[in-house]
C-alpha cells in the first residue's frame, strides 16, 4: 500500500496550522489546539477578528513565543523538503 502525503502549505501564507505548531513546539495535537484556542481568545479580547479554525496568525504566534518568523519558516521548509 502506497502512503499518500499532503503537500505542505506555502510559507507565504499568514497562518500556521496545527501541524506547524506541533512541529515547532514538539507537542501533541491536543496541546497545539489548546494553545491556538488560547491565542485566539487573546486576539478576540484585543478586538481582532478570530482566525479561521485550526489556524493562528504567524506574526502573533511568533511574537507570543519570542520566535523569529523567518527562521521558523526556513526550518519548516527544510523539514518538508527532507521528508
pLDDT at residue 9 greater than cutoff 90: no
Q: List alpha helices for 1-83, DSSP H.
A: 18-25, 29-45, 58-64, 69-82
Residues 6+ apart with CB under 8 A from 64: 39, 42
Give 21-47 pLDDT, tens digit per residue.
Answer: 999 999 999 999 999 999 999 999 999
pLDDT at residue 59 greater than cutoff 70: yes
What is the band of 57 on the pLDDT scale with cuts at 50, 70, 90?
Answer: very high
Q: What is the mean pLDDT of residues 63-71?
A: 94
Residue with cell 501541524: 19
Amino acid at each position: 500500500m502506497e502512503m499518500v502525503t499532503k503537500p505542505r502549505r506555502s510559507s507565504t501564507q499568514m497562518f500556521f496550522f496545527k501541524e506547524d505548531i506541533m512541529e515547532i513546539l514538539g507537542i501533541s495535537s491536543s496541546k497545539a489546539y489548546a494553545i491556538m484556542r488560547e491565542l485566539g481568545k487573546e486576539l478576540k479580547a484585543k478586538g481582532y477578528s478570530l482566525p479561521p479554525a485550526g489556524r493562528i496568525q504567524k506574526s502573533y504566534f511568533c511574537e507570543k513565543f519570542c520566535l523569529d518568523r523567518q527562521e521558523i519558516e526556513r526550518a519548516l521548509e527544510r523539514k518538508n523538503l527532507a521528508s
